[in-house]
Amino acid sequence: MKIYSYKFLLVSGLMAIGSVAFSQSPLYKNKSASIPSRVQDLLKRMTLEEKVLQLSQLSFGNNTNANNIGNKVKNIPAGIGSLIYNSDNPVYRNQMQKKAMEETRLGIPILFGNDVIHGLRTVYPISLAQACSWNPQLVQQACAMAAKESKLAGIDWTFSPMIDVARDGRWGRISEGYGEDPYTNAVFGVASVKGYQGNHLSDSFSIAACLKHYVGYGASEGGRDYSYTEISQQTLWDTYLPPFEACVKAGAATLMSSFNDISGVPSSANHYTLTEILKDKWKHQGFVVSDWNAVEQLINQGVAANRKEAGYKAFNAGVDMDMVDKIYIENMPQLLAEKKITQAKIDDAVSRVLHLKFQLGLFDKPFATVLEENERVLLPASRKLAQDLASESIVLLKNKQQMLPIKSNIKSVALIGPMVKDRSNIMGSWAFDSKDEDAETIWEGFGKVFANQVAFNYAKGCDFDSTDESGFQAGIEQANQSDLVIVCLGEKKKWSGENGSRSTLALPAIQEKLVMELKKSGKPIVLVLSSGRPLELVRLEPLADAIVNLWQPGVQGGSALADIVKGNVNPSGKLAVTFPLTTGQIPTYYNMRPNSRTNTQGNYKDISTAPLYWFGHGLSYTTYQYDSVKISATKVKKNEKIVAEVTVSNTGKVSGKETVLWFISNPACSISRPMKELKYFEKKEIAAGGKATYKFEIDPMRDLSFVDATGKKFLESGSYFLLVGGQKVKIEIE
Ligand code: BGC
């Protein structure tokens, strides 16, 4: 997005108004005029009531999200600024847009937003899974495809990506982001923004992105949703803000203020984060929308006595648009009269909203193109992308004695568990516009991929969560008749996502018990896990010969999994989030700060202190050998770059995709730093017997520096370490 200063907008606007004073059609309707001049021309013509409506968003249409039941066309004011569009039918949008264009004085188009989180009708894997692919290019393509489907459904704006760093798997929304690491969230956030927004917001299939939830929502206490967050200024700057800064720099059009209270100042009333950092320091020119009812919730959070006070606190802090609670509509004129808010601030907020509408080309093309459903959703290319992304997101957690891919002596396989024939939970949360029949089940995927080469026996065994063990016997019988048992377990989709917190990362006891019973058959056991969070596998892991983490893979999950089990695809996913050994270890994440005592001091007395699977863990069907790291210099000045290279050989029999993760550490600094910090990663395909060289160009100021509690970046002289593939290389900064 182009950056214009408010002064520039004003001056160019005034000049432009002068020059068209006598022309018939207003300047804001002139397609060839500049956007700032069109914004200013329109702003000058608007009444206060019209402006206030532009700063308000209501919900429209219906979907299956109980949170989000919208109004009908007749109940929505024609001049509303934006609508949450709960439909994937462009005709419905166009009906509402017609009302806006024809029944308002100025004909300002409505901006239609929707939660296109991991696809619209073509559901891709959940974002947490996408991060495990370590393939931002593929994620960008999936987001571009989702944008196209959305645009053709009448959606101009998605409330995505979610780039909340999350380190507590109990928090259901961990599924919506890219895991525990700030850099990973930044890279995948930027890829999503680029995918959604394309080269220009005005392109036919671009939609505007919305970074959420700004900021610190991932620190929800106890993993409970909507709860308080205790975040020091230092942690705010070094952990929660970096992904937002990167995505703002990449041109993200909007942000959403979050539900959490940051150490006493709720995000939606936080002048420091919304105005001083976002608008003043980072110079973001787009707008901020509150989260659903977040303005009103300032009352619950204890910083506003009533709706009116909540309204001016949020607005003065920097929330430009109010989502659904109508507080701005009801209170803004009065607040202005009482001088609690200023006209200049209203104009600034309205300019930001109008600016995006012009950028998206809504004034010139307010209506969505209407195509038949089969011409715009679930096209073969989208399904292919969904499958590719699912394949790369799957993480092989354990593979004892190369149990997978299954060998030719396996003639019959028992597919047991509540996930085998599931076509709803496999989609994950935030798939409200999807249809269950669009999804491929695991059962169907195996049937398709294996054709008739293997006989599959099925039993559900048990439900996701119940005490009814009556299905166990059928499962045991199928296991007894088969050469191999694949147990497909997991979570229901409502167990993660918004308002989807759980107190434990363990699967319900009945699912664990099913595996214990099946183990008695003596057959090898492959566990397939589908979840929206890292799981506690302390009891299940010892029972399994292999464990495949499928996540919630979306519409093509069945085939993606079957291809991996058969060996058509070599797994290449690596965890973007640590799997603790037990829930009691939370928080545990790779980038923790060091303890004051080393060795075993401070460890738990009852269990191991190490998690079961660290961030970055993921197995392959081949083996990789890392050569020694080559480095262009080991001692440099702060402004000198260093090139590090590592050659990786594929020493196995099948080709594979290996992601090299480059970490740094800085053991002595004036502010203690994480023990390891990911700074770069790259994924490459390496043929069997082949090699590939991975390169990391280290810019010390960018890659070795740190940030203080005021957001100031600094780079100290001293020793740093580069960590890659088990190697540790010292770098001296003079
Ligand atoms: C969620 C947001 C979402 C919004 C609109 C809220 O409840 O927290 O993530 O974008 O609703 O549906």
Rg of the chain in Å (alpha carbons)? 27
Alpha-carbon torsion, ordered 327, 333, 338, 344, to 10 deg: 100
Distance, first Cα to last Cα, the chain: 38
The pLDDT assigned to 15 comes to 41
Q: Which atom in ligand 1 lies closest to the alpha carbon of residue 210?
A: 10
The pLDDT assigned to 73 comes to 81
Q: Give nearest CA residue, ligand 1 atom 6.
A: 292
Cα(291) to centroid(ligand 1), Å: 6
Distance of CA 432 to the CA centre of its chain: 16
* Catalytic positions, written as ranges: 291
The pLDDT assigned to 9 comes to 40
The pLDDT assigned to 187 comes to 99
Whether 108 and 176 map to the same domain: the answer is: yes
Ligand 1 pocket mutation, candidates 87, 114, 115, criterion most atoms within 8 A of CB: 115
95-118 pLDDT, tens digit each = 999 999 999 999 999 999 999 999
121-154 pLDDT, tens digit each = 999 999 999 999 999 999 999 999 999 999 999 9
Residue 604 pLDDT more than 90?
yes
Cα(65) to centroid(ligand 1), Å: 10
Q: Does 602 reside within a domain?
A: no
Amino acid at 190: V
Q: 484-490 and 412-416 as β-strands: parallel, antiparallel, unpaired?
A: parallel
Nearest to 480 by CA among 515, 443, 522: 522
Nearest to 12 by CA among 355, 330, 242: 355
Q: Which atom in ligand 1 lies closest to the alpha carbon of residue 213?
A: 9
424-475 pLDDT, tens digit each = 999 999 999 999 999 999 999 999 999 989 999 999 999 999 999 999 999 9
Q: Which atom in ligand 1 lies closest to the alpha carbon of residue 160?
A: 10
Residues near 212 by Cβ (< 8 Å), separated by ≥ 6? 159, 160, 161, 162, 163, 164, 255, 256, 258, 291
Residue 25 pLDDT more than 50?
yes
What is the C-alpha to C-alpha distance for residues 80 and 77, in angstroms, rounded to an integer? 6
Cα(292) to centroid(ligand 1), Å: 6
Model confidence band, residue 1 (pLDDT cutoffs 50, 70, 90): very low
Whether 467 and 542 map to the same domain: the answer is: yes
Q: Which atom in ligand 1 lies closest to the alpha carbon of residue 68?
A: 12
Cα(354) to centroid(ligand 1), Å: 22
Residues near 344 by Cβ (< 8 Å), separated by ≥ 6? none
Residue 163 pLDDT more than 60?
yes
Q: Does 245 reside within a domain?
A: yes
Whether 297 and 405 map to the same domain: the answer is: no
The rounded mean pLDDT for the chain is 95
Phi/psi-derived region of residue 216, left when phi > 0, alpha when psi is between -120 and 50, beta in every other case = left
**H or E segment to which residue 191 belongs:** helix 182-197
> What average pLDDT does this structure show over 356-376?
97
Whether 343 and 396 map to the same domain: the answer is: no
Instruction: Read off φ and ψ for residue 269, nearest 5 degrees.
Output: -135, 30
Phi/psi-derived region of residue 56, left when phi > 0, alpha when psi is between -120 and 50, beta in every other case = beta
Model confidence band, residue 404 (pLDDT cutoffs 50, 70, 90): very high
Work out the percent of the chain whose per-residue pLDDT is above 70.
96
Q: Does 582 reside within a domain?
A: no
Provide the domain count of the chain.
3
Q: 210-214 and 254-257 as β-strands: parallel, antiparallel, unpaired?
A: parallel
Q: Give nearest CA residue, ligand 1 atom 7.
A: 292
The pLDDT assigned to 69 comes to 55
Single residue among 572, 591, 606 that ends a domain in this structure: 572
Ligand 1 pocket mutation, candidates 226, 292, 296, 432, criterion most atoms within 8 A of CB: 292
Cα(323) to centroid(ligand 1), Å: 9
Whether 350 and 396 map to the same domain: the answer is: no
The pLDDT assigned to 494 comes to 97
Cα(173) to centroid(ligand 1), Å: 11
Q: Does 369 reside within a domain?
A: no
504-528 pLDDT, tens digit each = 999 999 999 999 999 999 999 999 9
- The answer to whether 577 and 534 are in contact (CB under 8 A) is yes
Whether 120 and 263 map to the same domain: the answer is: yes
Please tell me the least confidently modeled range out of 52-66, 326-340, 550-564, 604-618: 52-66
- Partners of 733 in beta bridges: 636, 718
What is the C-alpha to C-alpha distance for residues 12 and 67, in angstroms, rounded to an integer? 43
Cα(241) to centroid(ligand 1), Å: 20
Whether 138 and 222 map to the same domain: the answer is: yes
Nearest to 525 by CA among 443, 410, 441: 410
Q: Does 30 reside within a domain?
A: no
Cα(57) to centroid(ligand 1), Å: 12
Tally of residues, the chain: 734
What is the C-alpha to C-alpha distance for residues 117 and 95, in angstroms, rounded to an integer? 25
Question: Angle at the Cα of 318 (from 315 to 321), degrees rounded to 5?
Answer: 65
Sign of torsion, CA 12 15 18 23? negative
**H or E segment to which residue 289 belongs:** strand 287-290
The pLDDT assigned to 190 comes to 99
The pLDDT assigned to 624 comes to 98
Q: CB count, 10 Å around CB of 18?
A: 10
CATH code: domain of residue 486: 3.40.50.1700
> What average pLDDT does this structure show over 9-20?
41
Please tell me the least confidently modeled range out of 193-197, 597-601, 636-640, 689-693: 597-601
CA atoms within 13 A of residue 61's CA, in its CB half-sphere: 25
Whether 332 and 224 map to the same domain: the answer is: yes
Cα(254) to centroid(ligand 1), Å: 14
> What average pLDDT does this structure show over 397-408?
98
Q: Which atom in ligand 1 lies closest to the alpha carbon of residue 212?
A: 9
Domain span holding position 717: 624-733
What is the C-alpha to C-alpha distance for residues 30 and 27, in angstroms, rounded to an integer? 5
626-672 pLDDT, tens digit each = 999 999 999 999 999 999 999 999 999 999 999 999 999 999 999 99
Ligand 1 pocket mutation, candidates 85, 159, 319, criterion most atoms within 8 A of CB: 159
Ligand 1 pocket mutation, candidates 256, 293, 429, criterion most atoms within 8 A of CB: 256
**H or E segment to which residue 682 belongs:** strand 677-686
What is the C-alpha to C-alpha distance for residues 322 and 449, in angstroms, rounded to an integer? 49
Whether 179 and 325 map to the same domain: the answer is: yes
Q: Which atom in ligand 1 lies closest to the alpha carbon of residue 258?
A: 8
- The tokens describing 141, both together, are 């393509």
| Residues flanking ligand 1, CB < 6 Å | 67-68, 84, 115, 159, 212, 291-292, 498
Amino acid at 537: L
The DSSP call for residue 278 is I
The pLDDT assigned to 20 comes to 42
Sign of torsion, CA 152 156 158 161? positive
At which residue do the structure tokens 């080309």 appear? Answer: 361
Q: Give nearest CA residue, ligand 1 atom 11.
A: 292
> What average pLDDT does this structure show over 311-326?
98
What is the C-alpha to C-alpha distance for residues 387 and 380, in angstroms, rounded to an integer? 10
Residue 324 pLDDT more than 80?
yes
Amino acid at 275: T
Whether 271 and 129 map to the same domain: the answer is: yes
Whether 457 and 552 map to the same domain: the answer is: yes
Write out the DSSP string of 526-541.
EEEEE-SS--B-TTTG
- The answer to whether 122 and 386 are in contact (CB under 8 A) is yes
Q: Which atom in ligand 1 lies closest to the alpha carbon of residue 67?
A: 7
Single residue among 572, 605, 639 that ends a domain in this structure: 572
The pLDDT assigned to 448 comes to 97
Single residue among 359, 394, 411 that ends a domain in this structure: 359
What is the C-alpha to C-alpha distance for residues 321 and 341, in angstroms, rounded to an integer? 14
The pLDDT assigned to 16 comes to 41
Residue 3 pLDDT more than 50?
no
Residue 593 pLDDT more than 50?
yes
The pLDDT assigned to 231 comes to 98
Q: Does 428 reside within a domain?
A: yes
The pLDDT assigned to 70 comes to 63
Alpha-helical segments (H) within 527-602: 557-566
What is the C-alpha to C-alpha distance for residues 100 and 108, in angstroms, rounded to an integer? 7
Q: Does 643 reside within a domain?
A: yes
- Partners of 642 in beta bridges: 698
Model confidence band, residue 414 (pLDDT cutoffs 50, 70, 90): very high
Distances (CA, A) of 261 to 501, 680, 717: 18, 32, 37
Burial category of 7 from C-beta neighbours within 10 Å (exposed 0-12, middle 13-18, buried 19 and up): exposed
- The answer to whether 206 and 151 are in contact (CB under 8 A) is yes
Q: Does 109 reside within a domain?
A: yes
Q: CB count, 10 Å around CB of 719?
A: 12
- The tokens describing 120, both together, are 């619209």
The pLDDT assigned to 562 comes to 98
Q: Give nearest CA residue, ligand 1 atom 10.
A: 159
Ligand 1 pocket mutation, candidates 57, 117, 498, 499, criterion most atoms within 8 A of CB: 498
Q: Give nearest CA residue, ligand 1 atom 2.
A: 291
Helix (H, G, I), strand (E, B) or coil at 545: coil
The pLDDT assigned to 252 comes to 99
CATH code: domain of residue 352: 3.20.20.300
Alpha-carbon torsion, ordered 222, 211, 279, 79, to 10 deg: -110
Q: Give nearest CA residue, ligand 1 atom 4.
A: 292
The pLDDT assigned to 62 comes to 66
CATH code: domain of residue 654: 2.60.40.10
CA atoms within 13 A of residue 625's CA, in its CB half-sphere: 9
Whether 208 and 251 map to the same domain: the answer is: yes
The DSSP call for residue 483 is S
- The tokens describing 680, both together, are 């770069």
